[in-house]
A and B are shown apart, each in its own frame.
Chain A
Amino acid sequence: MQKARKEPLVIRPKSEIGVPVVMQFYAKYEAVIAVCFLAVFIAIPAVVNKRYVTNVMIDCCRYSVLALSLNLLAGFMGMTSLGHAAFYGIGAYTAAIMSTRLGTPFLINFLCAFLIAGAFGFVVGLPTLRIKGRYLPIITMGFCEIIRLVELNWMSFTRGAMGIGNIPTFYLFGIRLKEPMQRFAIALIMALLTLWVVHAIVNSRTGRAIMTIRDDETAAGFMGINVFYYKVLIFTISAALAGVAGAFYAHNTKFIDSTLFTFDESITILCMIILGGMGSIPGSIIGAIIFAILPELLRDYVQYRPIIYGFIIIIMVIVRPKGILGGYNAKYIRQKMRGFAGAEGKEAQHG
Protein backbone atom coordinates (compact mmCIF):
# COMPACT_ATOMS: atom_id res chain seq x y z
CA MET A 1 0.00 0.00 0.00
CA GLN A 2 0.87 3.66 -0.11
CA LYS A 3 1.93 4.00 3.50
CA ALA A 4 5.44 3.85 4.96
CA ARG A 5 6.55 6.77 2.84
CA LYS A 6 9.16 8.95 4.49
CA GLU A 7 7.95 12.42 3.58
CA PRO A 8 6.66 14.19 6.69
CA LEU A 9 3.09 15.45 6.95
CA VAL A 10 3.34 19.21 7.15
CA ILE A 11 0.30 21.33 7.84
CA ARG A 12 0.14 24.19 5.35
CA PRO A 13 -2.16 27.17 4.84
CA LYS A 14 -5.36 26.42 2.96
CA SER A 15 -4.33 28.65 0.07
CA GLU A 16 -1.38 26.37 -0.74
CA ILE A 17 -3.01 22.99 -0.54
CA GLY A 18 -6.74 23.65 -0.85
CA VAL A 19 -7.67 21.84 2.35
CA PRO A 20 -8.71 23.63 5.57
CA VAL A 21 -6.04 23.52 8.27
CA VAL A 22 -8.43 21.77 10.66
CA MET A 23 -8.88 18.90 8.21
CA GLN A 24 -5.13 18.71 7.63
CA PHE A 25 -4.67 18.47 11.38
CA TYR A 26 -7.31 15.76 11.53
CA ALA A 27 -5.75 13.84 8.64
CA LYS A 28 -2.30 14.05 10.18
CA TYR A 29 -3.34 12.81 13.60
CA GLU A 30 -6.28 10.63 12.54
CA ALA A 31 -5.04 7.52 14.36
CA VAL A 32 -4.34 9.44 17.57
CA ILE A 33 -7.66 11.26 17.39
CA ALA A 34 -9.50 7.99 16.81
CA VAL A 35 -7.87 6.34 19.84
CA CYS A 36 -8.54 9.38 22.07
CA PHE A 37 -12.11 9.50 20.88
CA LEU A 38 -12.58 5.82 21.65
CA ALA A 39 -11.03 6.28 25.10
CA VAL A 40 -13.36 9.18 25.91
CA PHE A 41 -16.28 7.25 24.47
CA ILE A 42 -15.58 4.36 26.85
CA ALA A 43 -14.71 6.63 29.77
CA ILE A 44 -17.97 8.59 29.72
CA PRO A 45 -20.30 5.75 30.75
CA ALA A 46 -17.65 4.25 33.05
CA VAL A 47 -17.04 7.50 34.93
CA VAL A 48 -20.56 8.90 34.96
CA ASN A 49 -21.90 5.46 35.82
CA LYS A 50 -25.56 6.28 35.34
CA ARG A 51 -27.89 3.85 33.63
CA TYR A 52 -29.40 6.66 31.59
CA VAL A 53 -26.07 7.92 30.21
CA THR A 54 -24.91 4.40 29.42
CA ASN A 55 -28.12 3.73 27.53
CA VAL A 56 -27.61 6.84 25.41
CA MET A 57 -24.07 5.65 24.66
CA ILE A 58 -25.46 2.27 23.64
CA ASP A 59 -27.78 4.09 21.24
CA CYS A 60 -24.75 5.88 19.81
CA CYS A 61 -23.20 2.50 19.00
CA ARG A 62 -26.39 1.06 17.53
CA TYR A 63 -26.97 4.12 15.36
CA SER A 64 -23.33 4.02 14.26
CA VAL A 65 -23.89 0.53 12.89
CA LEU A 66 -26.98 1.68 11.02
CA ALA A 67 -25.34 4.85 9.69
CA LEU A 68 -22.14 3.10 8.63
CA SER A 69 -24.01 0.35 6.81
CA LEU A 70 -26.27 2.80 5.01
CA ASN A 71 -23.35 5.05 4.14
CA LEU A 72 -21.58 2.11 2.50
CA LEU A 73 -24.57 1.81 0.18
CA ALA A 74 -25.73 5.41 -0.22
CA GLY A 75 -22.56 7.40 0.37
CA PHE A 76 -19.93 5.20 -1.23
CA MET A 77 -21.95 3.50 -3.95
CA GLY A 78 -24.47 6.30 -4.48
CA MET A 79 -27.58 4.14 -4.17
CA THR A 80 -29.97 5.78 -1.77
CA SER A 81 -32.13 3.30 0.08
CA LEU A 82 -35.18 4.38 2.02
CA GLY A 83 -35.73 0.87 3.27
CA HIS A 84 -32.86 0.50 5.69
CA ALA A 85 -35.26 0.21 8.63
CA ALA A 86 -36.84 -2.84 6.99
CA PHE A 87 -33.58 -4.80 7.23
CA TYR A 88 -33.06 -3.45 10.73
CA GLY A 89 -36.55 -4.74 11.60
CA ILE A 90 -35.95 -8.10 9.96
CA GLY A 91 -32.85 -8.52 12.11
CA ALA A 92 -34.75 -7.53 15.24
CA TYR A 93 -37.64 -9.92 14.56
CA THR A 94 -35.22 -12.73 13.69
CA ALA A 95 -33.48 -12.37 17.05
CA ALA A 96 -36.74 -11.88 18.97
CA ILE A 97 -38.50 -14.88 17.47
CA MET A 98 -35.48 -17.17 17.71
CA SER A 99 -34.70 -16.33 21.31
CA THR A 100 -38.31 -16.47 22.56
CA ARG A 101 -39.30 -19.63 20.70
CA LEU A 102 -36.09 -21.58 20.30
CA GLY A 103 -34.14 -20.15 23.21
CA THR A 104 -31.01 -19.71 21.12
CA PRO A 105 -28.16 -17.62 22.60
CA PHE A 106 -27.63 -14.09 21.39
CA LEU A 107 -24.52 -14.73 19.32
CA ILE A 108 -26.40 -17.31 17.24
CA ASN A 109 -29.25 -14.83 16.88
CA PHE A 110 -26.87 -12.11 15.76
CA LEU A 111 -25.44 -14.43 13.13
CA CYS A 112 -28.90 -15.46 11.92
CA ALA A 113 -30.07 -11.83 11.86
CA PHE A 114 -27.00 -11.03 9.76
CA LEU A 115 -27.70 -13.89 7.37
CA ILE A 116 -31.47 -13.46 7.09
CA ALA A 117 -31.37 -9.66 6.68
CA GLY A 118 -28.60 -10.21 4.13
CA ALA A 119 -30.71 -12.81 2.32
CA PHE A 120 -33.61 -10.35 2.15
CA GLY A 121 -31.21 -7.72 0.84
CA PHE A 122 -30.02 -10.12 -1.81
CA VAL A 123 -33.54 -11.11 -2.89
CA VAL A 124 -34.76 -7.49 -2.98
CA GLY A 125 -31.57 -6.35 -4.67
CA LEU A 126 -31.58 -8.86 -7.52
CA PRO A 127 -34.57 -7.43 -9.38
CA THR A 128 -34.47 -3.82 -8.18
CA LEU A 129 -30.79 -3.02 -8.69
CA ARG A 130 -31.14 -3.54 -12.41
CA ILE A 131 -33.28 -0.44 -12.46
CA LYS A 132 -31.38 2.80 -12.89
CA GLY A 133 -30.78 5.30 -10.13
CA ARG A 134 -33.73 7.24 -8.88
CA TYR A 135 -36.28 4.45 -8.74
CA LEU A 136 -34.39 2.62 -6.02
CA PRO A 137 -35.49 4.97 -3.20
CA ILE A 138 -39.12 4.46 -4.21
CA ILE A 139 -38.85 0.68 -4.41
CA THR A 140 -37.02 0.41 -1.09
CA MET A 141 -39.60 2.71 0.49
CA GLY A 142 -42.30 0.30 -0.70
CA PHE A 143 -40.33 -2.64 0.64
CA CYS A 144 -40.04 -0.94 4.02
CA GLU A 145 -43.80 -0.54 4.16
CA ILE A 146 -44.43 -4.16 3.11
CA ILE A 147 -42.17 -5.45 5.86
CA ARG A 148 -43.83 -3.20 8.44
CA LEU A 149 -47.28 -4.45 7.42
CA VAL A 150 -46.15 -8.07 7.60
CA GLU A 151 -44.73 -7.45 11.07
CA LEU A 152 -47.98 -5.79 12.09
CA ASN A 153 -50.40 -8.37 10.66
CA TRP A 154 -48.80 -11.79 10.76
CA MET A 155 -50.28 -12.54 14.19
CA SER A 156 -49.13 -16.13 14.53
CA PHE A 157 -45.52 -15.32 13.73
CA THR A 158 -44.83 -11.79 14.93
CA ARG A 159 -47.69 -11.37 17.44
CA GLY A 160 -48.83 -8.37 15.39
CA ALA A 161 -49.54 -5.14 17.20
CA MET A 162 -48.84 -6.72 20.58
CA GLY A 163 -45.21 -6.97 19.67
CA ILE A 164 -42.75 -9.46 21.08
CA GLY A 165 -41.86 -9.03 24.73
CA ASN A 166 -39.74 -10.87 27.27
CA ILE A 167 -36.86 -11.24 24.89
CA PRO A 168 -34.01 -12.71 26.93
CA THR A 169 -31.05 -10.45 27.55
CA PHE A 170 -27.48 -11.33 26.56
CA TYR A 171 -26.07 -14.62 27.87
CA LEU A 172 -22.54 -15.66 27.16
CA PHE A 173 -21.40 -19.09 28.39
CA GLY A 174 -24.11 -19.03 31.01
CA ILE A 175 -23.18 -15.59 32.31
CA ARG A 176 -25.94 -13.03 32.23
CA LEU A 177 -24.76 -9.72 30.73
CA LYS A 178 -27.51 -7.51 31.95
CA GLU A 179 -25.63 -4.57 33.49
CA PRO A 180 -25.56 -1.39 31.37
CA MET A 181 -21.77 -1.47 31.06
CA GLN A 182 -21.87 -5.07 29.85
CA ARG A 183 -24.49 -4.22 27.25
CA PHE A 184 -22.44 -1.18 26.30
CA ALA A 185 -19.41 -3.42 25.76
CA ILE A 186 -21.42 -5.63 23.38
CA ALA A 187 -22.72 -2.59 21.51
CA LEU A 188 -19.25 -1.14 21.23
CA ILE A 189 -17.76 -4.38 19.90
CA MET A 190 -20.58 -4.56 17.35
CA ALA A 191 -19.94 -0.97 16.26
CA LEU A 192 -16.18 -1.50 16.03
CA LEU A 193 -16.60 -4.65 13.94
CA THR A 194 -18.95 -2.79 11.58
CA LEU A 195 -16.45 0.05 11.40
CA TRP A 196 -13.74 -2.45 10.51
CA VAL A 197 -15.82 -4.12 7.80
CA VAL A 198 -16.94 -0.85 6.18
CA HIS A 199 -13.46 0.65 6.37
CA ALA A 200 -11.88 -2.49 4.89
CA ILE A 201 -14.36 -2.62 2.02
CA VAL A 202 -13.99 1.05 1.21
CA ASN A 203 -10.19 0.88 1.17
CA SER A 204 -9.88 -1.97 -1.25
CA ARG A 205 -10.50 -3.03 -4.81
CA THR A 206 -14.20 -3.25 -4.01
CA GLY A 207 -14.17 0.25 -2.54
CA ARG A 208 -12.66 1.75 -5.67
CA ALA A 209 -15.13 -0.21 -7.78
CA ILE A 210 -18.21 1.03 -5.89
CA MET A 211 -16.99 4.63 -5.85
CA THR A 212 -16.54 4.39 -9.61
CA ILE A 213 -20.11 3.12 -9.88
CA ARG A 214 -21.21 6.13 -7.82
CA ASP A 215 -19.33 8.62 -9.96
CA ASP A 216 -20.05 7.08 -13.36
CA GLU A 217 -21.79 3.78 -13.79
CA THR A 218 -21.12 3.56 -17.53
CA ALA A 219 -17.42 4.21 -17.13
CA ALA A 220 -17.31 1.57 -14.38
CA GLY A 221 -18.36 -1.11 -16.87
CA PHE A 222 -15.54 -0.11 -19.18
CA MET A 223 -13.05 -0.42 -16.35
CA GLY A 224 -13.88 -4.13 -16.18
CA ILE A 225 -16.16 -3.70 -13.18
CA ASN A 226 -19.20 -5.96 -13.06
CA VAL A 227 -21.57 -3.21 -11.95
CA PHE A 228 -24.56 -5.40 -11.15
CA TYR A 229 -22.47 -7.83 -9.08
CA TYR A 230 -21.10 -5.04 -6.92
CA LYS A 231 -24.50 -3.42 -6.49
CA VAL A 232 -26.02 -6.66 -5.22
CA LEU A 233 -22.98 -7.43 -3.07
CA ILE A 234 -22.97 -4.06 -1.31
CA PHE A 235 -26.76 -3.96 -0.96
CA THR A 236 -26.61 -7.40 0.70
CA ILE A 237 -23.77 -6.48 3.06
CA SER A 238 -25.47 -3.22 3.99
CA ALA A 239 -28.73 -5.04 4.76
CA ALA A 240 -26.94 -7.75 6.76
CA LEU A 241 -25.16 -5.19 8.95
CA ALA A 242 -28.45 -3.39 9.62
CA GLY A 243 -29.88 -6.77 10.62
CA VAL A 244 -27.24 -7.14 13.33
CA ALA A 245 -28.15 -3.73 14.74
CA GLY A 246 -31.76 -4.95 14.84
CA ALA A 247 -30.81 -8.12 16.69
CA PHE A 248 -28.93 -6.04 19.22
CA TYR A 249 -31.92 -3.77 19.70
CA ALA A 250 -34.23 -6.73 20.34
CA HIS A 251 -32.00 -8.20 23.05
CA ASN A 252 -31.14 -4.84 24.54
CA THR A 253 -34.67 -3.49 25.03
CA LYS A 254 -36.35 -6.91 25.41
CA PHE A 255 -39.42 -5.69 23.57
CA ILE A 256 -40.05 -4.92 19.91
CA ASP A 257 -43.04 -4.13 17.75
CA SER A 258 -43.61 -2.97 14.21
CA THR A 259 -43.77 0.74 15.11
CA LEU A 260 -40.00 0.77 15.60
CA PHE A 261 -39.06 -0.14 12.04
CA THR A 262 -41.02 2.28 9.95
CA PHE A 263 -40.21 4.49 7.02
CA ASP A 264 -39.58 7.30 9.55
CA GLU A 265 -36.74 5.29 11.01
CA SER A 266 -35.24 4.87 7.50
CA ILE A 267 -35.37 8.64 7.10
CA THR A 268 -33.74 9.17 10.48
CA ILE A 269 -30.84 6.91 9.47
CA LEU A 270 -30.54 8.73 6.17
CA CYS A 271 -30.50 12.06 8.03
CA MET A 272 -27.57 10.83 10.11
CA ILE A 273 -25.41 10.33 7.06
CA ILE A 274 -26.63 13.48 5.31
CA LEU A 275 -25.68 15.42 8.43
CA GLY A 276 -22.42 13.56 9.11
CA GLY A 277 -21.27 13.30 5.53
CA MET A 278 -22.13 11.10 2.58
CA GLY A 279 -19.22 8.84 1.82
CA SER A 280 -17.42 9.61 5.08
CA ILE A 281 -16.78 6.99 7.75
CA PRO A 282 -16.07 9.41 10.63
CA GLY A 283 -19.01 11.46 9.34
CA SER A 284 -21.33 8.46 9.78
CA ILE A 285 -20.27 8.12 13.41
CA ILE A 286 -20.67 11.84 14.11
CA GLY A 287 -24.11 11.80 12.51
CA ALA A 288 -25.11 8.74 14.54
CA ILE A 289 -23.94 10.30 17.81
CA ILE A 290 -25.78 13.56 17.10
CA PHE A 291 -28.98 11.69 16.36
CA ALA A 292 -28.62 9.55 19.47
CA ILE A 293 -28.05 12.53 21.77
CA LEU A 294 -30.29 15.14 20.17
CA PRO A 295 -33.63 13.45 21.04
CA GLU A 296 -32.46 13.27 24.66
CA LEU A 297 -31.62 16.98 24.72
CA LEU A 298 -34.97 17.76 23.13
CA ARG A 299 -36.89 15.57 25.52
CA ASP A 300 -38.90 18.55 26.84
CA TYR A 301 -39.79 19.66 23.34
CA VAL A 302 -40.83 16.31 21.95
CA GLN A 303 -43.61 17.78 19.83
CA TYR A 304 -41.12 20.09 18.06
CA ARG A 305 -38.63 17.37 17.27
CA PRO A 306 -39.56 16.80 13.61
CA ILE A 307 -39.49 20.57 13.04
CA ILE A 308 -36.03 20.84 14.55
CA TYR A 309 -34.79 17.86 12.48
CA GLY A 310 -36.21 19.46 9.37
CA PHE A 311 -34.45 22.73 10.13
CA ILE A 312 -31.15 20.97 10.70
CA ILE A 313 -31.38 19.27 7.33
CA ILE A 314 -32.40 22.48 5.52
CA ILE A 315 -29.57 24.45 7.11
CA MET A 316 -27.08 21.70 6.31
CA VAL A 317 -28.17 21.51 2.69
CA ILE A 318 -27.65 25.25 2.37
CA VAL A 319 -24.44 25.60 4.37
CA ARG A 320 -22.68 22.29 3.80
CA PRO A 321 -24.54 20.10 1.33
CA LYS A 322 -21.96 17.36 1.61
CA GLY A 323 -22.46 17.04 5.37
CA ILE A 324 -20.10 17.87 8.21
CA LEU A 325 -17.26 15.69 6.92
CA GLY A 326 -18.48 14.86 3.43
CA GLY A 327 -16.01 15.59 0.67
CA TYR A 328 -13.01 15.12 2.93
CA ASN A 329 -10.98 11.98 2.56
CA ALA A 330 -8.25 11.75 5.17
CA LYS A 331 -6.17 9.42 3.01
CA TYR A 332 -6.26 11.85 0.10
CA ILE A 333 -5.42 14.78 2.36
CA ARG A 334 -2.41 12.91 3.72
CA GLN A 335 -1.27 12.00 0.22
CA LYS A 336 -1.56 15.62 -0.78
CA MET A 337 0.34 16.82 2.30
CA ARG A 338 3.12 14.35 1.47
CA GLY A 339 3.08 14.89 -2.26
CA PHE A 340 3.24 18.65 -2.01
CA ALA A 341 6.91 18.69 -2.93
CA GLY A 342 5.88 17.06 -6.20
CA ALA A 343 3.20 19.68 -6.72
CA GLU A 344 5.79 22.43 -6.31
CA GLY A 345 7.90 20.75 -8.97
CA LYS A 346 4.84 20.81 -11.20
CA GLU A 347 4.41 24.55 -10.68
CA ALA A 348 8.04 25.11 -11.59
CA GLN A 349 7.65 23.01 -14.72
CA HIS A 350 4.75 25.10 -15.94
CA GLY A 351 5.97 28.47 -14.75
Chain B
Amino acid sequence: MAETILTVEKVSQHFDGLIAVNEVSLHVDKGEIVGIIGPNGAGKTTLFNAITGLTTPTYGRIVYRDTDITQMKAYQITSLGLARTFQNIRLCSGMTALDNVMVGAHSHLHSGIFSQILRTKKHREDEKAAYEKAMQVLELTGLTAYRYEYATSLPYGLQRRLEIARAIATEPEILLFDEPAAGMNEQETSDLMEFILKVRDMGYTILLIEHDMRLVMNICDRIHVLDHGALIAQGVPAEIRSNPDVIAAYLGKEA
Protein backbone atom coordinates (compact mmCIF):
# COMPACT_ATOMS: atom_id res chain seq x y z
CA MET B 1 0.00 0.00 0.00
CA ALA B 2 1.16 3.48 -0.78
CA GLU B 3 2.39 5.75 1.95
CA THR B 4 -0.37 8.10 3.14
CA ILE B 5 0.90 11.59 3.93
CA LEU B 6 -2.26 13.61 4.47
CA THR B 7 -5.42 12.36 6.13
CA VAL B 8 -8.59 14.39 6.53
CA GLU B 9 -10.93 12.69 9.01
CA LYS B 10 -14.60 13.71 9.08
CA VAL B 11 -13.83 17.40 8.84
CA SER B 12 -16.74 19.82 9.17
CA GLN B 13 -16.63 23.57 8.89
CA HIS B 14 -19.59 25.52 10.22
CA PHE B 15 -20.03 29.27 9.83
CA ASP B 16 -22.73 30.03 12.40
CA GLY B 17 -25.70 28.12 11.02
CA LEU B 18 -24.17 27.39 7.64
CA ILE B 19 -22.49 24.03 7.20
CA ALA B 20 -19.94 24.73 4.48
CA VAL B 21 -18.12 21.43 4.76
CA ASN B 22 -19.83 18.40 6.23
CA GLU B 23 -17.87 15.39 7.51
CA VAL B 24 -15.46 15.15 4.64
CA SER B 25 -12.83 12.44 4.81
CA LEU B 26 -10.08 11.89 2.32
CA HIS B 27 -6.45 10.92 2.16
CA VAL B 28 -3.56 11.69 -0.12
CA ASP B 29 -0.75 9.24 -0.81
CA LYS B 30 2.80 10.14 -1.70
CA GLY B 31 3.33 10.94 -5.36
CA GLU B 32 -0.35 11.21 -6.24
CA ILE B 33 -2.26 13.96 -7.95
CA VAL B 34 -5.61 14.12 -6.20
CA GLY B 35 -8.39 16.34 -7.49
CA ILE B 36 -11.33 17.87 -5.69
CA ILE B 37 -14.18 18.96 -7.93
CA GLY B 38 -17.67 20.21 -7.34
CA PRO B 39 -20.10 22.92 -8.37
CA ASN B 40 -19.66 26.51 -7.20
CA GLY B 41 -20.19 26.86 -3.47
CA ALA B 42 -19.62 23.17 -2.83
CA GLY B 43 -17.08 23.98 -0.09
CA LYS B 44 -13.89 23.15 -1.93
CA THR B 45 -11.93 26.26 -1.00
CA THR B 46 -13.36 26.15 2.53
CA LEU B 47 -11.94 22.64 2.87
CA PHE B 48 -8.58 23.89 1.59
CA ASN B 49 -8.64 26.74 4.07
CA ALA B 50 -9.31 24.30 6.90
CA ILE B 51 -6.50 21.97 5.80
CA THR B 52 -3.95 24.76 5.44
CA GLY B 53 -4.77 26.48 8.71
CA LEU B 54 -6.48 29.65 7.54
CA THR B 55 -9.51 28.50 9.53
CA THR B 56 -9.82 25.84 12.22
CA PRO B 57 -12.33 23.12 11.39
CA THR B 58 -15.38 22.94 13.64
CA TYR B 59 -15.19 19.17 13.90
CA GLY B 60 -12.82 16.52 12.66
CA ARG B 61 -9.12 15.97 12.49
CA ILE B 62 -6.42 16.66 9.92
CA VAL B 63 -3.22 14.67 10.14
CA TYR B 64 -0.06 15.30 8.15
CA ARG B 65 2.34 12.39 8.46
CA ASP B 66 2.16 11.72 12.21
CA THR B 67 1.35 15.28 13.20
CA ASP B 68 -2.13 16.46 14.06
CA ILE B 69 -2.33 19.83 12.29
CA THR B 70 -6.01 20.54 12.99
CA GLN B 71 -5.36 23.38 15.43
CA MET B 72 -2.19 24.73 13.86
CA LYS B 73 -1.78 28.12 12.27
CA ALA B 74 -0.98 28.58 8.59
CA TYR B 75 2.68 29.48 9.14
CA GLN B 76 3.26 26.39 11.29
CA ILE B 77 1.63 24.12 8.74
CA THR B 78 3.71 25.63 5.95
CA SER B 79 6.94 24.98 7.81
CA LEU B 80 5.91 21.34 8.29
CA GLY B 81 5.69 20.81 4.54
CA LEU B 82 2.32 21.85 3.12
CA ALA B 83 2.23 24.71 0.67
CA ARG B 84 -0.65 26.20 -1.26
CA THR B 85 -1.58 28.62 -4.00
CA PHE B 86 -4.74 30.70 -4.23
CA GLN B 87 -7.76 30.97 -6.43
CA ASN B 88 -7.16 34.70 -6.80
CA ILE B 89 -3.44 35.20 -7.21
CA ARG B 90 -1.77 36.53 -4.08
CA LEU B 91 1.69 37.66 -5.10
CA CYS B 92 3.54 40.55 -3.53
CA SER B 93 3.06 43.50 -5.85
CA GLY B 94 5.94 45.51 -4.42
CA MET B 95 8.53 42.83 -5.06
CA THR B 96 10.27 41.27 -8.02
CA ALA B 97 9.65 37.68 -9.04
CA LEU B 98 12.98 36.75 -7.48
CA ASP B 99 12.14 38.30 -4.12
CA ASN B 100 8.71 36.70 -4.16
CA VAL B 101 10.33 33.30 -4.47
CA MET B 102 12.94 34.19 -1.86
CA VAL B 103 10.08 34.85 0.57
CA GLY B 104 9.12 31.22 0.06
CA ALA B 105 12.44 30.17 1.58
CA HIS B 106 11.57 32.05 4.78
CA SER B 107 10.91 29.16 7.11
CA HIS B 108 14.16 27.43 6.16
CA LEU B 109 16.27 30.40 7.19
CA HIS B 110 17.36 30.96 10.73
CA SER B 111 19.00 34.35 11.13
CA GLY B 112 17.49 36.42 13.93
CA ILE B 113 16.93 40.14 13.96
CA PHE B 114 20.27 40.84 15.71
CA SER B 115 22.33 38.90 13.23
CA GLN B 116 20.51 40.76 10.46
CA ILE B 117 21.26 44.14 11.99
CA LEU B 118 24.88 43.21 12.71
CA ARG B 119 25.19 41.55 9.28
CA THR B 120 26.77 38.44 10.76
CA LYS B 121 27.97 35.42 8.85
CA LYS B 122 24.72 33.65 9.65
CA HIS B 123 22.75 36.40 7.94
CA ARG B 124 24.98 36.31 4.87
CA GLU B 125 24.71 32.53 4.63
CA ASP B 126 20.95 32.84 4.93
CA GLU B 127 20.75 35.36 2.12
CA LYS B 128 22.96 33.19 -0.05
CA ALA B 129 20.86 30.10 0.69
CA ALA B 130 17.61 31.96 -0.06
CA TYR B 131 19.02 33.35 -3.30
CA GLU B 132 20.32 30.01 -4.48
CA LYS B 133 17.09 28.26 -3.56
CA ALA B 134 15.07 30.90 -5.40
CA MET B 135 17.23 30.75 -8.51
CA GLN B 136 16.99 26.97 -8.54
CA VAL B 137 13.18 27.07 -8.29
CA LEU B 138 12.94 29.81 -10.94
CA GLU B 139 15.05 27.64 -13.23
CA LEU B 140 12.83 24.60 -12.60
CA THR B 141 9.70 26.60 -13.34
CA GLY B 142 11.14 28.34 -16.37
CA LEU B 143 10.87 31.81 -14.88
CA THR B 144 14.55 32.74 -14.75
CA ALA B 145 14.25 35.34 -17.50
CA TYR B 146 11.54 37.16 -15.55
CA ARG B 147 13.28 37.24 -12.18
CA TYR B 148 13.83 41.00 -12.10
CA GLU B 149 10.32 41.94 -13.20
CA TYR B 150 7.77 43.08 -10.66
CA ALA B 151 5.59 40.06 -9.92
CA THR B 152 2.32 41.73 -10.83
CA SER B 153 3.67 43.07 -14.13
CA LEU B 154 3.97 39.51 -15.47
CA PRO B 155 1.31 38.04 -17.76
CA TYR B 156 -1.44 36.12 -15.99
CA GLY B 157 -0.24 32.61 -16.83
CA LEU B 158 3.24 33.41 -15.55
CA GLN B 159 1.84 34.89 -12.34
CA ARG B 160 0.12 31.54 -11.68
CA ARG B 161 3.38 29.80 -12.36
CA LEU B 162 5.26 32.20 -10.11
CA GLU B 163 2.82 31.49 -7.31
CA ILE B 164 3.53 27.80 -7.72
CA ALA B 165 7.27 28.54 -7.76
CA ARG B 166 6.92 30.48 -4.52
CA ALA B 167 5.05 27.55 -2.96
CA ILE B 168 7.77 25.14 -4.12
CA ALA B 169 10.40 27.37 -2.50
CA THR B 170 8.89 26.59 0.91
CA GLU B 171 10.22 23.05 0.30
CA PRO B 172 6.90 21.29 0.82
CA GLU B 173 6.12 17.63 0.46
CA ILE B 174 2.58 18.28 -0.64
CA LEU B 175 1.32 21.16 -2.78
CA LEU B 176 -2.30 22.34 -2.69
CA PHE B 177 -3.44 24.22 -5.79
CA ASP B 178 -6.70 26.15 -5.59
CA GLU B 179 -8.08 26.41 -9.13
CA PRO B 180 -4.76 26.75 -10.91
CA ALA B 181 -6.42 27.00 -14.33
CA ALA B 182 -8.93 29.69 -13.36
CA GLY B 183 -9.08 32.39 -16.02
CA MET B 184 -6.73 30.60 -18.38
CA ASN B 185 -7.32 30.00 -22.05
CA GLU B 186 -7.05 26.62 -23.78
CA GLN B 187 -3.34 26.96 -24.55
CA GLU B 188 -2.41 28.23 -21.10
CA THR B 189 -4.35 25.35 -19.53
CA SER B 190 -2.49 22.82 -21.65
CA ASP B 191 0.82 24.38 -20.60
CA LEU B 192 -0.32 24.25 -17.02
CA MET B 193 -1.23 20.56 -17.26
CA GLU B 194 2.21 19.74 -18.55
CA PHE B 195 3.70 21.89 -15.84
CA ILE B 196 1.74 20.19 -13.04
CA LEU B 197 2.81 16.77 -14.30
CA LYS B 198 6.39 18.03 -14.36
CA VAL B 199 6.04 19.25 -10.78
CA ARG B 200 4.71 15.82 -9.74
CA ASP B 201 7.68 14.16 -11.43
CA MET B 202 9.99 16.33 -9.36
CA GLY B 203 8.70 14.39 -6.39
CA TYR B 204 5.87 16.55 -5.07
CA THR B 205 2.47 15.25 -4.11
CA ILE B 206 -0.41 17.39 -5.35
CA LEU B 207 -3.92 18.05 -4.12
CA LEU B 208 -5.86 20.38 -6.36
CA ILE B 209 -9.24 22.02 -6.74
CA GLU B 210 -10.32 22.61 -10.30
CA HIS B 211 -13.28 23.45 -12.46
CA ASP B 212 -11.65 22.64 -15.74
CA MET B 213 -12.80 19.04 -16.38
CA ARG B 214 -10.28 18.43 -19.11
CA LEU B 215 -7.44 19.20 -16.74
CA VAL B 216 -8.86 17.17 -13.86
CA MET B 217 -9.76 14.13 -15.92
CA ASN B 218 -6.39 14.11 -17.67
CA ILE B 219 -3.94 14.51 -14.84
CA CYS B 220 -5.58 13.36 -11.59
CA ASP B 221 -4.97 9.88 -10.23
CA ARG B 222 -8.02 10.06 -7.99
CA ILE B 223 -10.90 12.52 -7.75
CA HIS B 224 -13.18 13.52 -4.90
CA VAL B 225 -16.48 15.20 -5.66
CA LEU B 226 -18.00 17.68 -3.22
CA ASP B 227 -21.55 18.96 -3.38
CA HIS B 228 -23.25 21.11 -0.75
CA GLY B 229 -20.29 20.53 1.55
CA ALA B 230 -20.48 16.76 1.47
CA LEU B 231 -18.44 14.19 -0.36
CA ILE B 232 -20.72 12.52 -2.91
CA ALA B 233 -18.25 10.43 -4.86
CA GLN B 234 -14.64 9.42 -5.10
CA GLY B 235 -12.60 7.30 -7.44
CA VAL B 236 -10.46 7.28 -10.56
CA PRO B 237 -11.45 9.69 -13.35
CA ALA B 238 -13.30 7.01 -15.37
CA GLU B 239 -15.52 6.14 -12.40
CA ILE B 240 -16.30 9.76 -11.68
CA ARG B 241 -17.22 10.46 -15.28
CA SER B 242 -19.92 7.79 -15.22
CA ASN B 243 -21.14 8.29 -11.64
CA PRO B 244 -24.86 9.20 -11.69
CA ASP B 245 -24.64 11.31 -8.51
CA VAL B 246 -21.89 13.43 -10.02
CA ILE B 247 -23.80 13.94 -13.23
CA ALA B 248 -26.85 14.94 -11.19
CA ALA B 249 -24.86 17.41 -9.13
CA TYR B 250 -23.40 19.07 -12.21
CA LEU B 251 -26.34 18.92 -14.57
CA GLY B 252 -29.28 18.67 -12.17
CA LYS B 253 -31.59 15.71 -11.66
CA GLU B 254 -34.34 14.80 -13.99
CA ALA B 255 -37.66 15.75 -12.50
Contacts and interface: CB of A to CB of B under 8 A. Distances in A.
B145 to A, nearest CB: 4
A200 B116 contact: yes
Contacts of A201: 113, 116-117
Interface in B67-87: 73-75, 78-79, 83-84, 86
A345 interface: yes
Interface stretch (B96-104, B187-195, B201-209, B239-247): B96-104
B123 A221 contact: no
Contact of B106 (A205, A214, A349): A205
B124 A1 contact: yes
A297 interface: no
Nearest to A279: B94
Interface string A48-62: 000000000000000
A218 B163 CA distance: 14
Contact of A216 (B74, B92, B170): B92
A205 B109 contact: yes
Interface stretch (A170-178, A222-230, A251-259): A222-230
Contacts of B160: none
Interface in A320-347: 332, 335-336, 338-339, 342-343, 345-346
A161 interface: no
Contacts, number: 123
B178 to A, nearest CB: 11
Interface string A194-237: 00110011001110110110111011111111110000010001
A24 B124 CA distance: 27
Interface of A is mostly: helix
Contacts of A205: 106, 109, 111, 116, 123, 126-127, 130
A223 B147 contact: no
B236 interface: no
A223 B116 contact: no
B104 A223 contact: yes
Contact of A224 (B95, B111, B150, B170): B170
Contact of B102 (A208, A214, A226, A336): A208
A137 B165 CA distance: 35
A58 B53 CA distance: 50
A1 B128 contact: yes
A2 interface: yes
Contacts of B79: 224
B75 A215 contact: no
B78 A1 contact: no
A222 B146 contact: no
Contact of A342 (B130, B145, B150): B145
Given A205-B106, A215-B92, A221-B73, 20 more contacts: A1-B131, A2-B131, A201-B117, A204-B116, A205-B109, A205-B111, A211-B95, A216-B91, A216-B92, A219-B91, A222-B75, A222-B167, A224-B78, A224-B79, A225-B103, A225-B107, A227-B75, A332-B148, A343-B148, A345-B145
4 closest residue pairs by CB, A with B: A224-B107, A221-B74, A215-B92, A346-B145
14 contacts: A196-B117, A197-B117, A204-B116, A204-B123, A204-B127, A212-B95, A222-B74, A224-B75, A226-B73, A227-B75, A339-B148, A342-B145, A342-B148, A343-B145
